[in-house]
Amino acid sequence: MIKESLRGKKIAITGSTGFLGTALVELLLREIEDVELRLLIRPSGKRSASKRLERDILKNDAFDQLKEALGTSGFKDLTDNAVSALTADISKNNLGLDDNGLRELSECDVVIHSAAAVSFDEPLDRAAEVNLMGPVRLVETLQSLDAEPHLVMVSTCYVAGNRKGTAPEKPLSQSPFYVPLNWREETEAARRTRSYTEDDSRRSENLEKFRTEAKNELGAPGISLIATKTEQIRERWVKDKMVEAGRERATSLGFPDAYAFTKAMSEQAVQEIRGNIPLSIVRPSIIESSWDKPNSGWIRGFRMAEPIILNFGRGTLKEFPGIPEGIIDVIPVDLVASAIVAVAAQEKPTDPFVVQVASGACNPIKIGILADYVHEFFGNFPILDEKNQPITPSKWEFPGRGRVVTQLTRAKRILQLAENGLHKLPIRGNQAMIVADLEEKRNELDKAMEYITLYGKYVECEAIYDVSNLLGLWDSLEDSDKSSFLFDPRVIDWRKYVYDIHLPTVVTQGRVKTTPSSSPPTSRNDRLRKQILDPTRQLAVFDLENTLIASNVVSSWGYLATKRLSSQDRFRIISKTILEAPSMLAMDRRDRTDFLRNFYRKYEGAPVLQIDEDSLEMFNEFILTKSFPAAIRRVREHRALGHRTLLITGALDFVVQPLKPLFDEILAPSLEMKGNKYSGRMTQVPPIGETRAAVLRNYADMNNLDLKESVAYADSTSDLPMLEAVGFPVAVNPETKLATLARRRGWLVENFQPISGSPKRTLPLGSKKE
Amino acid sequence: MPQNQRKHPRPGLVLDVDRTTPPILFHHGEGFRMEKLPAGRSRVIYPAEPLPGVPNPNGTIRHALENPLGDSPPLSALLKSGMKLTIAFDDISLPLPPMRKPDIRQRIIEAVLDTAASAGVDDVHLIAALALHRRMTENELRHAVGDRVFDAFAPTGAIYNHDAEDPDGMVVIGTTPHGEEVQINKRAAESDLIIYVNINLVSMDGGWKSTATGLSGYTALRHHHNPQTMVESRSFMDQENSELHKSNWRQGKVLKESGIKVFQIETTVNNNTFGYDGPLAMLQKREWEWNFKDRMTFLSMQAGLKRMSNSSKRKSFQGWHSPYEITSVQAGEVEAVHKTTTENVYKQHLVQVEGQTDILTMGLPYICPYNVNSVMNPILVACLGLGYFFNMYKGKPLVRKGGVVIMTHPTPWEFHPVHHPSYIDFFERVLSETTDPTVMSQKYEKAFAEDDWYRHLYRTSHAYHGVHPFYMWYWCAHALDHLSEVVIVGGNQEAVRRMGFRSATTLQDAFEIASDSVGFSPTVTHYHSPPILMADVT
Amino acid sequence: MAKKLTKREIQRKTREIYKAVGNAPQRMRSISNIKSTQFPYRAARTPNGVAPLERKSYLGSEYPTVWARRLPARTVRLLSTELIAKPVMSYIASPKRTGYDRLEGLKKRQAVIFVANHHSHADTPLLLTSIPIQWRKRLIVGAAADYFFKSKLGGSLSALFIGAIPVERTKVSRASSDQIASLIKHGWSFMVFPEGGRSPDGWGQPFRAGAAYLSIKCNAPVVPIHLAGTGNILRKGKVWPKRSSTKVSFGTPIWPTENENSRTFSKKIEQAVAELADEENNDWWIAQKHKHSGQTPTLQAPEIGNWRKAWTLKTNTEKSANNKKRWPTI
């Protein structure tokens, strides 16, 4: 009956690039002869609608079976004449269709609307725009074309809200706990909250908050990087605010989240304005991988349950809220597709016909049982960690949601405190990597918190979705239709479905390591090092302090100043410098260039000859003892490979002069000369922070070197602009902030140390000399 | 006459250990160990007691200058006004440990300059003959030549370190019949007379080795500082069968024929390394002759050393200056002088020993020629043990072919970044690949020798030459080829294993390790040095 | 010690007494103040007509200094040098002492004659703190009899604190030199300024032969010492010392040859001190060349006008004090 009624019909489908849409297209092409499908597709990025049809839909593995049956050429003919793509965008008026598109839409007999913003943490206004105004615009366009096709709208069971007891298959207005919603008001309110939040984010105290947050995440890398970071934080703040607004608004009206809330409003809106367009509504519950068509276990993209299952398998998520007796309402995607086709095949109903596709009523599966299956599965096929050791998942104890949330927030606060504390300490290298690990764990906790807040409600809601209409429809089918359009939930054997079908696909889709890798795991660092020491690289840039040597500007001045002083003068100059130290440190934290400019005043009146002679002796006696042999070896390896080596530093040129043979070029500030004495004023801006990146860029242009093919070694976030400018950044003995950034961006982190046995010096004093 | 000094100093002693023999003193880097040797099958070789020094050193020096040996006229006859004179003297690596002021070099140089002043010589240069060693610091030069000479010559730049890598400072004189190039400092080559002031601590020093090696560079040294020569030198301390000695003498001959006149002054010192009376006097005495005061000072020193940090221990040990006395001064023509010097050296050091044993144990002290005022890294430990102590023999080595050497030294994984930069890379990159000297010399030596960075550090900083770590390893070539096993007691495990030796925590464990190549009851010889001794093995 | 009264003073004194006593009965009351001025409270005068006991005033060269060489005086002298003289001299003179290694040839018990040029009173304490302890333990210092031993107090102080012994400046008296010679033979070292006195104008004076004579007589080596910069501390005629840096350099000991006469030997000693001065101004190598070519500049003034003498003197001292303004300014 379905095949006959739909044969030769023109069917328009929106949201065909989605998980359900693709299943629907595949089912229609497979079962219904000479059907004509009009797919309304939104062009995204560079790809036009037809290209997306070609790439996103037809290339999907769902059509593999069809391709084998018809052969590639047969399949191509079928799709060429049966399927056509219309560029459309449901968030625009007339769905963004051109005239030809409108004409083709008007000729359609059936319109299936399955486009929706399905992610559960959509900002309120975007959810309203897509889920609510989308169907409204579709109906308005159909009315403007005065076409009356059979409109099948895909909604969700959760439009029933967080209620207990059965949810009837009736339009919302007739269901018992109906909460009157004025959808026009809500859309306006959503747009207004968007503009309020945008203005709120631009208030000065918020902007100040964002800038400080950016600063303590990046340190002091210079104005432009801080600005981009602050903007990112502001946008993320707005999005969070909108998502929260959506969630608060939904929970205040009894809905689990913004998605269910907007879907409920769209149902009411369409009923209100549909006029005499026949309408039927299909409400699936949580859609999961297919039961057997096109092949059992087919899935596209990650939806709701997969991240939870994977994190549980990896052991990062030990607890999950939800009560063991609670029912988790899961339905395979091919059952939903068949139900939609069956509904579409009915004759056009006068008043809205509602069908709920859910397994909760007729063939329920309890969370406890699902958890056992998952635990058993991961017991037999465990996920392996990077050391090829199987991770044994812990038993789910199902604590109440409240307890899980408090546990997680406490852990998060402790980690945050530890991290801030460590950021203050001047630790470097390996100790700094501990901060990176802390940050990584904190991110995992954030994700877990997100899952819990998002999915927690779905797991806890105990509504049972009545499926009498569905079963009625199922009984009215002939046997031939029943075999090809299976949508009876009772047929599902949950153990087989979870154990044999769904979990294997989740694991393969998640690309998680379940089989031990054969070759020894070359550590990530070795791989990165091989990449860096590669003849094709062109330039290797080095910072000086804490990258090549462990001394700094203050100690080299200390050496040169005390070189020719008697012991009382030495004592006086030491005590004077110690008094100045705190203010110098504070200025250095604020802005390094000011610090250098102010500090180099101390060289005022220093005789050039004496300084040059003493600086060679300083290099031999003091700087070399604090150098990192591994770092110097690395510079020479770069030169051996033919790379151009460059040293950019804030230290003065006469201090780094003895390093000349190591580098092709040394860019260091120099002091003006007044007669035969130094004047204490720098000739040009010291290459620090942003100026360092600028200096590097025009050095590369002058010698036509490609920065993307070059390597940079640096130790603090003030060198971030340089590190980001080059293709292969390396963090050497990184400060805590740079350590977390390096770990997050996957940069190589080196830990160069002075050789043990080098003579230690408490104070940087020069050996006496008249 | 100080309390421990004898009128007739006793010669070296070979003591057969029995149950009554007390535990023997082993040097252990900056520290000491007391070890019990197995009774009945082991012996200890003690050095000779210090010979008496000459009563009036300055007088002896003046006398030697005025009546030289060999066919050379007296110094005053050689010096004429307006001539170009170059005085070369030994660098920081001699004597070991450094000598108390006034240093021998100061006495001799002042005497020579006095004669030169009377002859009216104006153009005089003083050069520290480094070869490829590190440049001496100002304080080390002051200690060697004395403040008076240094303050007189330093301002005009007339006293400086030899620079083997200075392109226009070195000149190749010629090649020996065996194809060995001879390279020497240009200033020395062009001067009318070279006066070489030499301290002959061991029989290897002096003779043509001073000028042919001390004042030359890598192009000349590579011909005899290579594994083949080292393996064929059946101890380069014993001149008759030392391939190194023959090669140096060939190069010396070429120098002589090219018209370079050398006035060689050689001095020998006695064995008074730790002083007759003073804090370390007991280290020079035989264990059973220690009196109450010696035992108490030793115990308090051991307790003190336990509590000190590594760097303070190093500073205090490196601060020790030995009260050496000059036992003889010879001057004149190189070969004649060297013959008498060698006899005088042997008079102080030679100890008659019969037969070889399976195991040779030795306690490595805190100092070797290349870590004065510096850090003794693992490579220098191997060089001191297997290069110097093992080769202190005449006739046959103290341990039989295929025997085992057991050395005690903390062998820390520590390097001095300024003095030994190329050692760090050698230890990291070369030793991790291979410990065989011949493979190493073919694959890596050239790259290290001609590396610009090492050359820059050698010439401007105080760093040993890039190729120096290789020479240290070639120094052990003869021992590595002769022995089947080398065990270091009390060393840092990774460092010892990196050098291809076995590491043990106590002497008994070392014997246990050695048992699989020399059996369970091997015969043992303990080489009780310093003070320096040389075994004449028959 | 009572001073001899002139005739007029005696008459004034008797009038006072009679006035105090008066002829009235108060005589009894004022007996007490007569008694107070009476013998034996006051030394009596030698009665007239009696030959006064001829008081032997052992001053000048006869001043007895043997007590200063006994153990208690020696320890006091040693302690005063170590505890007082050394810190004071290191503050005032901040001396740079060189040349000690030249003395290592001398045997332990050997008595030595130290000879130095003389510019100011600061020379003696500077030398006392510079001479090594092994000789300072038994050291006598030749001091001018007419200057140091004029009074009993001055004599005893200088004998005690610097171990001084009177030496005749004007004529060579046999007595004092015999006494010193016997002391030297008994192992006492002797320190003396052969110029006889401090230099009046900053230039050296010719060396007297006293030290040479003693060295030949007792066959003791002479150690020449050159002091530089003491002139700026306390020149002749100045009262208050001024801080300035000084240099003390010891020369190689000179042994008298057989039958050498003291005049030529004294010339040789002066030559040695001049060489040390030359080494100080230039450096050791130039000094050696000057020595052998005989061009060592003498310490005495060149025969030029006295303003130029003062002028050249100033340029020499000018060179040494060149602490120009140093970086960094603290």
**Tens-place pLDDT, residues A138-155:** 888 888 888 888 888 888
Per the CB < 8 A criterion, the answer to whether B100 and C101 are in contact is: no
Nearest to C101 among B101, B114, B155 (CB): B101
Name the neighbours of B, counting chains with at least 3 Cβ pairs within 8 A: A, C
Number of CB pairs, chain A paired with chain C, less than 8 A apart? 18
CA distances from B127 to A186, A746, B211, C106 (A): 96, 56, 11, 32
Number of H helices and E strands in chain B, helices first, is: 21, 20
A356 phi and psi angles, rounded to 5 deg = -110, 125
Delimit the domains of chain C by residue range: 63-301
Q: Minimal CA–CA distance to A159: which of A253, A49, A51?
A: A253
- β-pair type (A711-714, A728-732): parallel
Cβ–Cβ gap C328/A606 under 8 Å: yes
B13 phi and psi angles, rounded to 5 deg = -130, 135
Mean pLDDT in residue range A333-352: 84
CA distances from A737 to A209, A420, A443, A717, A723 (A): 18, 10, 15, 7, 14
Cis peptide before A582 (omega within 30 of 0): no
pLDDT at C322: 46
Per the CB < 8 A criterion, the answer to whether C110 and C220 are in contact is: yes
C121 phi and psi angles, rounded to 5 deg = -60, -25
- DSSP assignment of B491-525: --HHHHHHTT-EEESSHHHHHHHHHHHH-SS--EE
- How far is residue A15's CA from residue A293's CA, in Å, rounded to a whole number? 20
Q: How far from each other are the two terminal CA atoms of chain A, in whole angstroms?
A: 110
Question: Highest-confidence range of A184-193, B331-340, C229-238, by mean pLDDT?
Answer: B331-340
Q: Minimal CA–CA distance to B529: which of B96, B53, B229, B180?
A: B96
- Please report, in tens digits, the pLDDT of each residue of chain B (538 residues total): 777 788 888 888 999 999 989 999 999 999 999 999 999 999 999 999 999 999 889 999 999 999 999 889 999 999 998 899 999 999 999 999 999 988 999 999 999 999 999 998 999 999 999 999 999 999 999 999 999 999 999 999 999 999 999 999 999 999 999 999 999 999 999 999 999 999 999 988 888 999 999 999 999 999 989 998 888 888 888 888 888 899 999 999 999 999 899 999 999 999 999 999 889 999 999 999 899 999 999 999 999 999 998 889 999 999 999 999 999 999 999 999 999 999 999 999 999 999 999 999 999 999 999 999 999 999 999 999 999 999 999 989 999 999 999 999 999 999 999 999 999 999 999 999 999 999 999 999 999 999 999 999 999 999 999 999 999 999 999 999 999 999 999 999 999 999 999 999 999 999 999 999 998 999 999 999 889 999 999 8
Per the CB < 8 A criterion, the answer to whether A168 and A217 are in contact is: no
To test the contact with chain A by mutation, choose from B309, B312, B461 the residue with the greatest count of A C-beta atoms within 10 A, namely B461
Cβ–Cβ gap A633/B416 under 8 Å: no
Mean pLDDT in residue range A196-225: 86
CA distances from B274 to A131, A423, B101, B284, B325 (A): 95, 54, 15, 6, 12
Average pLDDT, chain C: 82
Work out the pLDDT band at A472, boundaries 50, 70, 90: confident
pLDDT at C60: 74
Per the CB < 8 A criterion, the answer to whether A225 and A721 are in contact is: yes
pLDDT at A355: 86
**Which chain C residue shows the shortest CA-CA distance from B54?**
C105
Contacts with B, C 292-311, CB within 8 Å: 292-293
- How far is residue B378's CA from residue B381's CA, in Å, rounded to a whole number? 5
A507: left (phi over 0), alpha (psi -120 to 50) or beta: alpha
To test the contact with chain A by mutation, choose from B418, B428, B432, B446 the residue with the greatest count of A C-beta atoms within 10 A, namely B418
Mean pLDDT in residue range C129-141: 90
Which residues neighbour B429 within 8 Å (Cβ) at sequence distance 6 or greater?
A633, B444
Cβ–Cβ gap A756/B413 under 8 Å: yes
ipTM of the complex: 0.79
Q: Minimal CA–CA distance to B210: which of B148, B294, B158, B267?
A: B267
Nearest-5° angle of CA A99, CA A103, CA A106?
Answer: 135
Q: Using a CB–CB cutoff of 8 Å, tell me whether A572 touches chain C.
A: yes
CA distances from C247 to A770, C124, C316, C321 (A): 16, 14, 14, 12
Q: What long-range pairs does A229-235 form, CB within 8 A, spacing at least 24?
A: A234/A201, A234/A202, A234/A206, A234/A207, A234/A210
Element (H, E) at A192: helix A183-201
Both structure tokens of A571: 């004592």
Please check the confidence at residue C138 and state whether its pLDDT lies above 70: yes
Minimum mean pLDDT among A64-68, A397-401, A490-494, C181-185: which range? A397-401
Cβ–Cβ gap B117/C292 under 8 Å: yes
Nearest to C330 among A564, A569, A605 (CB): A569
Q: Using a CB–CB cutoff of 8 Å, tell me whether C261 touches chain B.
A: no
Q: Which residues of B touch A759 (CB under 8 A)?
A: 311, 416
DSSP, res C192: E
User: Which residue type is seen at C293?
Assistant: S
Which residues neighbour A12 within 8 Å (Cβ) at sequence distance 6 or greater?
A37, A38, A39, A40, A86, A104, A105, A108, A110, A111, A112, A149
Please check the confidence at residue A316 and state whether its pLDDT lies above 50: yes
Per the CB < 8 A criterion, the answer to whether B25 and B44 are in contact is: no
B488 phi and psi angles, rounded to 5 deg = -110, 125
Nearest to A757 among B375, B451, B460 (CB): B375
Nearest to C292 among B118, B146, B152 (CB): B118
Element (H, E) at B182: strand B181-185
**Which chain C residue shows the shortest CA-CA distance from A569?**
C330
Mean pLDDT in residue range C165-175: 74
- β-pair type (C113-116, C189-192): parallel
DSSP, res A625: G
C283 CA: distance to closest CA in chain B (Å): 5
Please check the confidence at residue A124 and state whether its pLDDT lies above 90: no
Please check the confidence at residue A661 and state whether its pLDDT lies above 80: yes
Both structure tokens of A383: 């996920």
Q: Helices A333-345 and A468-476 sit at what angle, rounded to 10 degrees?
A: 70
Cβ–Cβ gap C101/B155 under 8 Å: no
- How far is residue A569's CA from residue A739's CA, in Å, rounded to a whole number? 41
**Tens-place pLDDT, residues C298-317:** 887 777 666 766 676 665 55
| B455 three-class SS | helix
Question: Highest-confidence range of A418-432, B55-69, C193-207, by mean pLDDT?
Answer: B55-69
Cβ–Cβ gap B113/C292 under 8 Å: no
Cβ–Cβ gap A573/C327 under 8 Å: no
Per the CB < 8 A criterion, the answer to whether A603 and A680 are in contact is: yes
Q: Which residues of B touch C286 (CB under 8 A)?
A: 152
Q: Which residues of B touch A660 (CB under 8 A)?
A: 456
Cβ–Cβ gap C328/A605 under 8 Å: yes
Please check the confidence at residue C321 and state whether its pLDDT lies above 50: no
A755 phi and psi angles, rounded to 5 deg = -65, 140
Name the neighbours of A, counting chains with at least 3 Cβ pairs within 8 A: B, C
Which residues neighbour B451 within 8 Å (Cβ) at sequence distance 6 or greater?
A636, B422, B466
Cβ–Cβ gap B155/C283 under 8 Å: yes
Q: Minimal CA–CA distance to B382: which of B374, B371, B393?
A: B371
Query: What are the structural domains of chain A?
Result: 1-191+254-285+329-361+466-487 (3.40.50.720), 303-323+367-461+496-519 (no CATH), 528-750 (3.40.50.1000)
Work out the pLDDT band at A379, boundaries 50, 70, 90: confident
**Tens-place pLDDT, residues A533-554:** 888 889 999 999 889 998 888 8
B115 CA: distance to closest CA in chain C (Å): 9
Average pLDDT, chain A: 83
Both structure tokens of A81: 């004449």
Does 2.40.40.20 match the CATH number of domain C63-301?
no
Side-chain half-sphere CA neighbours of A602 within 13 A: 23
